[in-house]
């Protein structure tokens, strides 16, 4: 399996990526009893699953922009089971509940990250918007790949108003 | 004790409800609202002792709900708890001005919520 070539990242981008990875770990481990590790970008051609993507916008805080969490459907289902107590053999949850779960996951990740950015400033989160896609977008310029329970999850971030000090994003 | 859970995520409400039941703290009824406006309507018609509310919600935010509650004498004894993704010190200071008893940042552990419920139940008995 060949991995795509990683783009060159600035110190600021690495700091943001590291901070977001930390937020995902906190949320996944505490609310979903899941293990999180850093991982290389997977070969997406090997995936036949559908992906859920929850996008959330944030403003009025230390930084403004958006964050998107890409989860394969099977990962979303496992997180759903851990969060809701559903037995894996039980009937599948309705689509709106799975969307709600993925939206809440992105909400918590974004909130945990922004809280760490600058604890002396409040921020405002928009409503998560959940869509489905056959694979994550090709634009990987601001993307962190993480292994959640050994399955790949991608977090995209876009900051439209960066703080003057890059350290604020850590 | 009657509890009102206010969160726009039905999954989060269900999770909080599940944790409440697991704590075995005696609860008479658990009410749910998806935003501050729905919560106010339920408070008007039900005798609620513990309010667990999110901050970021459509229609009416948790902060606006708490302002309304703080300004109404009828809800003077209502125990107020925030459960929010925003864990900033700035937000916690705002909450303190709205007579909020406790501030839980999502994600939270079930043990923390159990302690909040135990505390609220003890207050009710006094």
Mean pLDDT over A9-17 rounds to: 79
pLDDT tens, position by position, B67-85: 999 999 999 999 999 999 9
CB contact under 8 A, A115 and B94: no
Q: Is A14 on the interface with B (CB under 8 A)?
A: no
Q: In the structure, what pLDDT confidence band is assigned to residue A162 with cuts at 50, 70 and 90? A: low
Residues above pLDDT 70, as percent of chain B:
98
Residue-level pLDDT at A160: 84
Domains of chain B: 2-110 (3.40.50.2300)
Q: Of the candidates B9, B85, B91, which has its C-beta nearest A112's C-beta?
A: B85
A20 touches chain B (CB under 8 A): no
What pLDDT is attached to residue A3?
47
CA distances from B34 to A40, A48, A154, B56 (A): 39, 35, 29, 11
pLDDT of residue B59: 94
Best residue of A99, A100, A126 to probe chain B, by most B CBs closer than 10 Å = A100
Each residue's pLDDT tens digit, B26-72: 899 999 999 999 999 999 999 999 999 999 899 999 999 999 999 99
Are B87 and A119 inside 8 Å of each other by CB? yes
Which residues in chain A are closer than 8 Å to B18, comparing Cβ atoms?
A: 84-85
Q: Does the beta-carbon distance from A84 to B18 stay under 8 Å?
A: yes
> Residue B4 and residue B36: Cα distance in Å, rounded?
11
Q: Evaluate if residue A49 carries a pLDDT over 90.
A: no
DSSP per position, B31-93: EEESSHHHHHHHHHHS--SEEEE-SS-SSS-HHHHHHHHHT-GGGTT-EEEEEES---HHHHH
Is the pLDDT at A27 greater than 90? The verdict is: yes
Domain segments of chain A as ranges: 11-163
pTM of the model: 0.88
Confidence class for position A45, pLDDT limits 50, 70, 90: confident
Average pLDDT over residues A40-65: 89
Nearest to B103, CA basis, from B111, A13, B94, A11:
B94
Confidence band, pLDDT 50/70/90 cuts, at residue A50 = very high
**pLDDT surpasses 70 at A6:** no
Give the A window 76-105 contacts with B, CB below 8 Å: 80, 83-85, 97, 100-101, 103-104
A33 at interface of B, judged by CB pairs closer than 8 A: no
Give CATH superfamily name and number for A11-163.
CheC-like (3.40.1550.10)
Q: Is the pLDDT of residue A1 over 80?
A: no
Q: B60 CB contacts (<8 Å, ≥6 apart)?
A: B35, B36, B37, B39, B40
Mean pLDDT within B93-107: 90
Whether the per-residue pLDDT at A4 is higher than 70: the answer is no
Q: Do A104 and B9 touch (CB under 8 A)?
A: yes
Check residue A17 and give its pLDDT.
86
- The pLDDT of residue A24: 96
Average pLDDT on A50-67 reads 91
pLDDT digits (tens, 9 = 90+) for A86-121: 998 999 999 999 999 999 999 999 999 999 888 888
Question: Each residue of A111-153: pLDDT tens digit?
Answer: 999 998 888 888 889 999 999 999 998 877 799 999 999 999 9
Whether residue A2 is predicted with pLDDT greater than 60 in this model: the reply is: no
């Amino acid at each position: 399996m060949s991995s795509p070539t990683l783009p060159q990242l600035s110190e600021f981008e690495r700091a943001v990526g590291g901070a977001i990875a930390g937020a995902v770990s906190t949320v996944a481990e505490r609310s979903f009893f899941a293990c999180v590790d850093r991982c290389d970008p997977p070969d997406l051609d090997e995936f036949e699953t559908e992906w859920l993507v929850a996008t959330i916008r944030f403003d009025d805080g230390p930084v403004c922009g958006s964050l998107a969490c890409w989860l394969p459907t099977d990962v979303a289902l496992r997180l759903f089971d851990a969060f809701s107590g559903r037995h894996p053999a039980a009937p599948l949850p309705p689509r709106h509940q799975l969307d709600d779960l993925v939206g809440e996951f992105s909400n918590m990740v974004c909130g945990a990250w922004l809280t760490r950015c600058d604890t002396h400033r409040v921020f405002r989160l928009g409503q998560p918007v959940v869509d489905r896609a056959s694979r994550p977008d090709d634009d990987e310029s601001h993307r962190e790949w993480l292994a959640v329970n050994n399955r790949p999850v991608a977090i995209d971030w876009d900051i439209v108003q960066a703080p003057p000090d890059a350290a604020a994003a850590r | 004790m009657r509890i009102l859970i206010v969160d726009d995520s039905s999954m989060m409400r269900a999770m909080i409800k599940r944790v409440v039941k697991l704590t075995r703290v005696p609860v008479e009824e658990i009410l749910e609202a998806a935003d501050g406006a729905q919560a106010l309507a339920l408070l008007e018609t039900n005798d609620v002792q513990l309010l667990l509310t999110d901050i970021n919600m459509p229609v009416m935010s948790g902060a606006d709900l708490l302002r309304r509650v703080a300004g109404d004498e009828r809800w003077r004894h209502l125990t107020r708890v925030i459960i929010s993704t925003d864990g900033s010190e700035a937000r916690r200071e705002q909450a303190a001005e709205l007579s909020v008893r406790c501030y839980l940042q999502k994600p939270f552990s079930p043990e923390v919520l159990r302690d909040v419920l135990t505390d609220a139940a003890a207050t009710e008995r006094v």
